[in-house]
Copies of this chain bind each other. A is one copy, B any other.
Amino acid sequence: MTTTRRKFLTAGAVTGAALASAGTLAAAPNTAPKLLHHVFFWLKNPNSAADRAKLIAGVKSLAAIETVRSIHVGVPASTEKRDVVDNSYHVSELLGFDDVAGQDAYQVHPLHKKFVDEHQHLWSKVVVYDAMKVD
């Protein structure tokens, strides 16, 4: 596992040097995770800071699952309000995986099941988007 991760991150560092040299992201090879798993949660009690904090701590714990390559836990950003922007969710979780097999392993991982068991009472709605990188 550690070897795999080091390999991945070294590739990222090489990309960094290439990118700084080229000056544009478009010119650099992209070694970021290919499969994105983006989850949006709507809380049952959106005014409960305790519920929000508990959910945030819960999603952060998912970073420990071996096939997770990157994680971003967020809340709606204070960008301009536009019709196309859905800022009604309360907590978001973006996980990066190498491939579909990595995401499948995550779904059935004991830490993921524990997270769902212990936190699903907090949310009223969940929407998931899984996106595979196109070359």
Chain A positions near chain B (C-beta within 8 angstroms): 1-2, 5-6, 9-10, 12-13, 15-17, 19-20, 23-26, 30, 32, 35-38, 40, 56, 60-61, 63-64, 68-80, 82, 84-87, 89, 92, 94, 100, 103-104, 107, 126-134
Contact = CB atoms under 8 A, between A and B. Distances in A.
B74 A134 contact: yes
A75 B132 contact: yes
> How often does this chain occur in the complex, in copies?
2
B134 A86 contact: no
B133 A73 contact: yes
B76 A130 contact: yes
Nearest to A94: B36
Nearest to A22: B2
Nearest to A74: B131
A50 to B, nearest CB: 15
Given A26-B63, A40-B129, A85-B128, A134 B76 contact: no
